């Protein structure tokens, strides 16, 4: 394995070039780290070597640690294995930092500079942070930062300790706690890196620095005499404010459910009180505790390993490449306009059709407004805007669809209108074209009846707003063929979103689970549960929005519409009468939600939420005795989780990885848990059965234990252990 290569030039400058052969982006493995360590030893030991440039052979420096390695470390070695492994990494990085200098005089070390051509994330920044200087190429596309917190861990290879000592706790907070990423110029302004140079000058400048560096240039502030942490330690008055503030802020944002955020704060706080090398040990101890926490392993599994596997086509049927070249979109409303933007932005030619030219133009103008915002934020150039807009043709003329290989229909949610559109489209496109509908409620197999080619008919369900929401649900109708599925998956890959593939059933997967969550919240209002308790219980268990806020955001009238349609379809089996009482009453009061500036919440004139609406208590008085927090949380979680399990039992979901990834990306299901199936694994099937039985006894059959869960409890199985990734 040669992830790093070693080359010394005539002036004695050693260049260590990182270039992982099998990957487009460098990621660090255990073996590569050892190789780097050996090469640093070699350069430090060679009297002819004057210093080291650490750089990359690719356009970027590194994407981070290979998280599969971290997952494996935990499986193989347990806590001791992780702790010792991390301490071993610290030793190597400390060796780079000290670079052979005399420990007493701090003289005689060899200069080591990190030269970053592009993106440097995670260990890709932690490693530069232990070099003596960081120089980056002026590459506005590059992202520099420590995003570990996003997948449930924190920078554990010295990044936390070094950044806090470099910037101070307050200034380091957004990079550590929020995983904030910066382009090179902003990274320089924030003090993350030292220098930004023109890309062609990167290595020349790095060499120049190595050859001119003095002893004092190699000493890190924290190794120098009299070092004081910027902004003060926790016992300094300014530091006290920072630490208390950070702790409150983190708790406010995470509600205490993310072990990584808590452990990070401990590493920062405790680390600030002790010498540097002890702080590294504290960091390692906290990092180990996070890696051993089931929440972090579930988050890594869902948000990194499985998300990536799905994006790479884990469930793609065998079919030749189906890359979309020309896309037709029918209906230029909210969804159609969003789909047009993400597609044109990904380089796909788009024909955007609506019934009237003004409507089609409005749809195209939506892309223009997003691109203009991008220009304001310096993320988009005027040339890029022109390119993207040039790819979108807004028209009413179906003849423009000639040559399209995929159609996405996003007209009104009406069977008849959709059927007419399907027939008109099929008359205008070639025989190979795949037709996708973006319906959110109508069965794909029923809509496919309007098609002369049902095997080429599929559901591609986007979430709103399309440019922000990362999940796309692909729905196989009864007759949908493999090529249509492959087409949908290749399209989703092109627009860089995450797909799940599900079978056709009422509300598919995401809406099927989210509706019972909303309904459970509304049902509690009818029962006299304090609305603030409902909302806070949801947030304290890690849901981004309480059920009442969520229905306000999606609108009460949509809720009423869905309730009426569901009731009509289910007749006597319809279980949600108690919910409808509240929902219909709210609609009668004209409280349609956020868009009407009135819903379960009150809103100020600017449309900002202004507390829960007090008028609700007039109609649904709050009971004197309130349920305890855990019971409310169990109701809200189980309403979603049991629906996910039923979707698996019914064969709507065929892969629990999709169930977990889809839940987090689709509706924000408590990300700390790794998703509904991961959550069930964390609490264990026997405990889940116990909760279901308790809830069924008090609240009725909607909480009845699904047979699959009961069977797993009896056999002491877990989803990821026994069902493996692919359901039977
Ligand atoms: P919308 O009302 O904003 O847009 C629908 C557009 O279709 C309008 O511009 C309308 O003029 C156009 N249209 C209607 N009949 C037409 C016809 N015969 N030919 C051409 N154009 C026609 O609706 P939307 O929110 O964008 O929803 C569109 C579809 O996406 C619906 O099926 C909806 O269920 C689904 N969907 C919506 C959401 C959401 O959050 N809004 C999410 C997922 C899926």
- Please tell me if the CB atom of residue 578 comes closer than 6 angstroms to any atom of ligand 1: no
Provide the CATH number for the domain around residue 547. Answer: 1.10.1040.50
363 Cα nearest atom in ligand 1: 9
Region 539-562: mean pLDDT is 94
- Please tell me if the CB atom of residue 153 comes closer than 6 angstroms to any atom of ligand 1: no
Q: Are residues 471 and 565 in the same domain?
A: no
Handedness of CA 27, 28, 32, 37 (dihedral sign): positive
Tokens of 196: 């930004």
Q: State how beta strands 4-8 and 13-18 pair.
A: antiparallel
Q: What distance in Å separates the CA atoms of residue 167 and residue 193, rounded to the nearest whole number?
A: 11
Q: For a ligand 1 pocket test, name from 330, 334, 443 the mutation site with the most ligand atoms within 8 angstroms of its C-beta.
A: 334
Q: Are residues 659 and 562 in the same domain?
A: yes
- The residue from 476, 504, 532 where one domain ends is 504
- Please tell me if the CB atom of residue 705 comes closer than 6 angstroms to any atom of ligand 1: no
- Please tell me if the CB atom of residue 409 comes closer than 6 angstroms to any atom of ligand 1: no
Residue 238 has pLDDT above 90, yes or no: no
- Please tell me if the CB atom of residue 419 comes closer than 6 angstroms to any atom of ligand 1: no
Region 17-34: mean pLDDT is 94
554 Cα nearest atom in ligand 1: 40
- Please tell me if the CB atom of residue 437 comes closer than 6 angstroms to any atom of ligand 1: no
Residue 81 has pLDDT above 80, yes or no: yes
Q: Are residues 259 and 334 in the same domain?
A: no
- Please tell me if the CB atom of residue 334 comes closer than 6 angstroms to any atom of ligand 1: yes
CA-nearest of 668, 648, 476, 679 to 554 is 668
353 Cα nearest atom in ligand 1: 20
409 Cα nearest atom in ligand 1: 29
3-class state of residue 505 by DSSP = coil
The Cα angle at residue 656 between residues 520 and 435, in degrees rounded to 5 = 90
Q: Are residues 173 and 194 in the same domain?
A: yes
**Ramachandran category for residue 455: left, alpha or beta (phi over 0 → left; psi -120 to 50 → alpha):** alpha
Q: Are residues 252 and 376 in the same domain?
A: no
Which domain range does residue 515 map to? Answer: 511-585+614-715
Residue 288 has pLDDT above 70, yes or no: yes
- CA Rg value for the chain: 28
- Please tell me if the CB atom of residue 565 comes closer than 6 angstroms to any atom of ligand 1: no
- Please tell me if the CB atom of residue 667 comes closer than 6 angstroms to any atom of ligand 1: no
Q: Are residues 261 and 373 in the same domain?
A: no
Residue 11 has pLDDT above 60, yes or no: yes
Q: Are 395 and 422 in contact (CB under 8 A)?
A: no
**What would the pLDDT profile of 645-675 be if each residue is shown by its tens digit?**
999 999 999 999 999 999 999 999 999 999 9
Residue 235 has pLDDT above 80, yes or no: no
Alpha helix stretches (DSSP H) within 377-509: 382-390, 415-428, 444-447, 482-494
- The per-residue pLDDT for 565 is 86
Length of the chain: 728
Q: Average per-residue pLDDT in the chain?
A: 94
Residue 41 lies in a domain: yes
Q: Are residues 75 and 134 in the same domain?
A: yes
Q: Are 276 and 223 in contact (CB under 8 A)?
A: yes
Q: Are residues 485 and 560 in the same domain?
A: no
Residue 150 lies in a domain: yes
- The per-residue pLDDT for 22 is 87
Q: Are residues 495 and 517 in the same domain?
A: no
Q: What distance in Å separates the CA atoms of residue 537 and residue 556, rounded to the nearest whole number?
A: 21
Q: How many domains does the chain have?
A: 3
- DSSP structural state of residue 200: G
Residue 602 lies in a domain: no
Q: What distance in Å separates the CA atoms of residue 522 and residue 586, rounded to the nearest whole number?
A: 11
Region 67-79: mean pLDDT is 80
Q: Are residues 466 and 440 in the same domain?
A: yes
Q: State how beta strands 51-56 and 13-18 pair.
A: parallel
Q: Whose CA is nearest to atom 31 of ligand 1?
A: 413
The helices-and-strands tally (H runs, E runs) of the chain is 29, 21
- The residue from 233, 267, 292 where one domain ends is 292
- The residue from 244, 271, 292 where one domain ends is 292
Q: Are residues 163 and 268 in the same domain?
A: yes
Residue 382 lies in a domain: yes
Provide the CATH number for the domain around residue 411. Answer: 3.40.50.720
**What would the pLDDT profile of 83-142 be if each residue is shown by its tens digit?**
998 999 999 999 999 999 998 999 999 999 999 999 999 999 999 999 999 999 999 999
Q: Are 89 and 81 in contact (CB under 8 A)?
A: no
Residue 311 lies in a domain: no
Is residue 632 exposed (0-12), middle (13-18) or buried (19+ Cβ within 10 Å)? buried
- Please tell me if the CB atom of residue 319 comes closer than 6 angstroms to any atom of ligand 1: no
Residue 275 lies in a domain: yes
Whole-number Å distance, alpha carbon 64 to ligand 1 midpoint, is 41
- Please tell me if the CB atom of residue 410 comes closer than 6 angstroms to any atom of ligand 1: yes
Q: For a ligand 1 pocket test, name from 331, 407, 415 the mutation site with the most ligand atoms within 8 angstroms of its C-beta.
A: 331
State the residue for tokens 């300014």: 238
Kindly indicate the confidence band of residue 722, based on its pLDDT and cuts at 50, 70 and 90: low
Q: What percent of the chain has pLDDT over 70?
A: 99
- Please tell me if the CB atom of residue 412 comes closer than 6 angstroms to any atom of ligand 1: yes
Provide the CATH number for the domain around residue 144. Answer: 3.90.226.10
Tokens of 677: 């199936």
Whole-number Å distance, alpha carbon 363 to ligand 1 midpoint, is 11
Residue 216 lies in a domain: yes
Q: What distance in Å separates the CA atoms of residue 660 and residue 541, rounded to the nearest whole number?
A: 16
Q: Are 144 and 150 in contact (CB under 8 A)?
A: no
Q: Indicate whether this model's pTM tops 0.85.
A: yes
State the residue for tokens 């869960």: 709
Residue 601 lies in a domain: no
Q: Are residues 204 and 259 in the same domain?
A: yes
């Amino acid at each position: 394995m040669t992830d790093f290569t070693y080359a010394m030039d005539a002036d004695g400058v050693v260049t260590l070039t990182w270039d992982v052969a099998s990957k487009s982006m460098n990621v660090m493995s255990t073996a590569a780290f050892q190789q780097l360590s050996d090469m640093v030893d070699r350069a430090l030991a060679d009297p002819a070597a004057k210093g080291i440039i650490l750089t990359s052979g690719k356009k970027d420096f590194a994407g981070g640690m290979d998280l599969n390695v971290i997952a494996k470390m935990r499986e193989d070695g347990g806590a001791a294995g992780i702790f010792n492994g991390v301490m071993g990494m610290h030793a190597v990085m400390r060796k780079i930092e000290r670079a052979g200098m005399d420990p007493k005089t701090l003289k005689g070390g060899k200069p080591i500079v990190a030269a970053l051509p592009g993106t440097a994330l995670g260990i890709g920044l932690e490693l530069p942070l232990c070099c003596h200087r960081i120089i980056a190429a002026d590459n506005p596309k590059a992202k520099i930062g420590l995003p570990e917190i996003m997948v449930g861990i924190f920078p554990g290879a010295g990044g936390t300790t070094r950044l806090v000592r470099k910037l101070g706790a307050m200034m380091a907070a957004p990079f550590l706690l929020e995983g904030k990423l910066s382009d090179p110029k902003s990274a320089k302004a924030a003090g993350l890196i030292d220098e930004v140079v023109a890309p062609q000058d990167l290595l020349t400048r790095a060499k120049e620095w190595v050859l001119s560096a003095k002893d004092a240039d190699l000493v890190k502030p924290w190794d120098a005499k009299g070092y004081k942490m910027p902004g003060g330690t926790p016992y300094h008055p300014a530091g006290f404010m920072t630490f208390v503030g950070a702790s409150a802020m983190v708790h406010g944002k995470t509600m205490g459910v993310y072990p990584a955020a808590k452990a990070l704060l401990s590493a920062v706080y405790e680390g600030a009180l002790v010498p540097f090398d002890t702080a590294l040990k504290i960091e390692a101890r906290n990092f180990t505790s996070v890696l051993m926490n089931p929440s972090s392993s579930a988050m890594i599994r869902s948000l990194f390993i499985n998300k990536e596997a799905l994006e790479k086509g884990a469930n793609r049927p065998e079919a030749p490449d189906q890359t979309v070249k020309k896309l037709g979109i029918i209906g230029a409303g909210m969804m159609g306009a969003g789909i047009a933007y993400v597609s044109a932005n990904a380089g796909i030619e788009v024909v955007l059709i609506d019934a009237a030219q003004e409507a089609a133009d409005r749809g195209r103008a939506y892309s223009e407004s997003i691109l203009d915002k991008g220009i304001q934020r310096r993320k988009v150039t005027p040339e890029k805007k022109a390119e993207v807009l040039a790819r979108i043709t807004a028209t009413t003329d179906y003849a423009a669809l000639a040559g399209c290989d995929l159609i996405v229909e996003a007209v009104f949610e009406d069977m008849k209108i959709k059927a007419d559109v399907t027939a008109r489209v099929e008359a205008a496109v070639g025989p190979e074209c795949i037709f996708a509908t973006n319906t959110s409620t109508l069965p794909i197999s029923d809509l496919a009846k309007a098609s002369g080619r049902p095997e080429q008919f599929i559901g591609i369900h986007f979430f709103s707003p399309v440019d922000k929401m990362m999940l796309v649900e692909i729905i196989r109708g009864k007759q949908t063929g493999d090529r249509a599925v492959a087409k949908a998956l290749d399209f989703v890959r092109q627009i860089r979103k995450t797909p799940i593939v599900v079978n056709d059933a009422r509300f598919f997967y995401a809406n099927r689970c989210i509706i019972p969550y909303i309904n459970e919240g509304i049902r509690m209002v009818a029962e006299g549960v304090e609305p603030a308790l409902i909302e806070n219980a949801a947030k304290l268990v890690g849901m981004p929005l309480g059920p009442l806020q969520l229905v306000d955001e999606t609108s009460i009238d949509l809720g009423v519409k869905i309730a009426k349609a569901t009731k009509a379809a289910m007749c006597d089996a319809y279980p949600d009468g108690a919910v409808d009482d509240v929902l219909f009453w709210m609609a009668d009061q004209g409280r349609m939600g956020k868009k009407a500036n009135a819903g379960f919440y009150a809103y100020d004139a600017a449309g900002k939420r202004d507390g829960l609406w007090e008028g609700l208590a007039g109609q649904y008085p709050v009971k004197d005795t309130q349920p305890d927090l855990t019971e409310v949380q169990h109701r809200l979680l189980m309403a979603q989780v049991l629906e996910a399990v039923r979707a698996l039992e019914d064969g709507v979901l065929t892969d629990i990885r999709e169930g977990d990834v889809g839940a987090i990306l689709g509706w924000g299901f408590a990300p700390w848990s790794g998703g509904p199936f991961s959550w069930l694994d964390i609490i264990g099937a026997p405990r889940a059965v116990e909760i279901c039985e308790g809830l069924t006894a008090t609240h009725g059959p909607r909480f009845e234990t699904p047979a699959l869960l009961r069977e797993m409890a009896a056999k002491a199985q877990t989803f990821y252990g026994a069902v493996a990734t692919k359901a039977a």
